[in-house]
Amino acid sequence: MPAMPPFLQMDDLEESFTGSGSWVTDPTGTIRHVTTGTRFSEESGITVDGQEYTLTPNDIELCGEGGTLGSGACGVVRKGFIKKTGQPVAIKGIKIEAKDKKEQLMNEVRSLVTAQWCPNLVTWYGGFVSRSIVHVVLDLMDLGSLRNLRNSCKASGYDGVPPVHLAIVTSQSMKGLEFLHNQHIVHRDIKPENILYSSTGQVKLTDFGISRSLDATIEMAGTQIGTQIYMAPEMCLGDEYNFSVDIWSYGLVLYELATGTFPFPPLSNFATLFECICEKPEPRLPVDGPYPAVMCEFVEKCLTREVRERGDTPRLVRHPFVATVESEEEFASFLSTLQRP
């Protein structure tokens, strides 16, 4: 592969970390979060709880034309590889402009440290600071998000993702959620765009920027965080909530992938969204449709307003719908037949 421009040239933005009492920048340019001791440095990468996750801009080479994987409010994700190993990676640049963005970065980095022990969570190889922008180097999931999977199935003549393949998608997604919940972490933004998949048949949860630690004995105070149309009723109401919000959100994702259609009509205002989420009958897959009964039951367990009756990850990872699934190799074989929209 021809040499690419140095990584330091990839972004000319000059946002600063200064201005927040819990963040300081020392004379060497190292950025420190005072409370946790987490450090972001151009020289030593990112340090969390005394452990260095060291990469430098010179360790990474960007891919050329077509190397941009996506962009959003916080920054750009680009495709590259680690020079020493040839490992393909995704490089996420995070612009930090305000205190809430700094705290979101802290949540994401600390969650990535936790995620390295779970095969169904996007993990990382380290990170560094370049021109006051934090870059984290992540697993490359080469086919993108489940939104792409839904669109690829549609382009290939399917009404939705076939149930046999949704079973392995759900199995891997639930294992990722179970790991987070066992660590007392609520994701809070489960949606198709935040579940990635690869040509090898792997499925992983990503984007832990708004996830939050939750003590098992204390319910979280209500805050409306996350993508609104996938929001659980208790969040929509501003009530206290717990791990169950992720289960509701995944239920909507599963329904959408199965049918090819989001269960709620086009929404133009919050009042209509509120009515759909909190008042109208919960979405259900038709039992007389092309969906296995165990899959219909799984969706019902997820999309139940009464939190005490909603499924949880210890039970859902063992549900009959995901008890026996195809292998990742079989799923990968199916993926290879799909057209790209």
Tens digit of pLDDT per residue, the chain (341 long)?
A: 333 333 323 332 233 343 445 766 666 666 666 666 677 777 777 888 778 887 888 888 888 766 778 766 556 888 999 999 999 999 988 776 656 666 777 777 877 887 788 999 998 888 887 766 788 898 999 999 999 999 999 999 999 999 999 999 999 999 999 999 998 888 988 999 999 999 999 999 988 755 555 443 334 434 444 468 999 999 888 888 899 999 999 999 999 999 999 999 877 778 888 999 999 999 999 988 899 999 999 999 999 999 999 999 999 999 999 999 999 999 999 999 999 87
What is the rounded CA–CA span in Å between residue 304 and residue 300? Answer: 6
What is the rounded CA–CA span in Å between residue 265 and residue 332? Answer: 32
What's the longest Cα–Cα distance across the chain? 68
| Residue 204: strand pairing partners | 196
What are the backbone dihedrals phi and psi of residue 105, each rounded to the nearest 5 degrees, phi first? Answer: -60, -45
Residues 38, 47 contacting (CB under 8 angstroms) = yes
Closest by CA position to 170, among listed 75, 299, 82: 299
What is the rounded CA–CA span in Å between residue 138 and residue 159? Answer: 32
What is the rounded CA–CA span in Å between residue 77 and residue 96? Answer: 15
Structure tokens at 69: 């994987």
Q: Domains plus CATH for the chain?
A: 7-139 (3.30.200.20), 146-335 (1.10.510.10)
Distance of CA 264 to the CA centre of its chain: 22
Report in angstroms the alpha-carbon separations of 72 from 23, 93, 243: 24, 10, 26
pTM summary value: 0.82
What is the rounded CA–CA span in Å between residue 219 and residue 326? Answer: 37
Tell me the catalytic residues.
Answer: 189
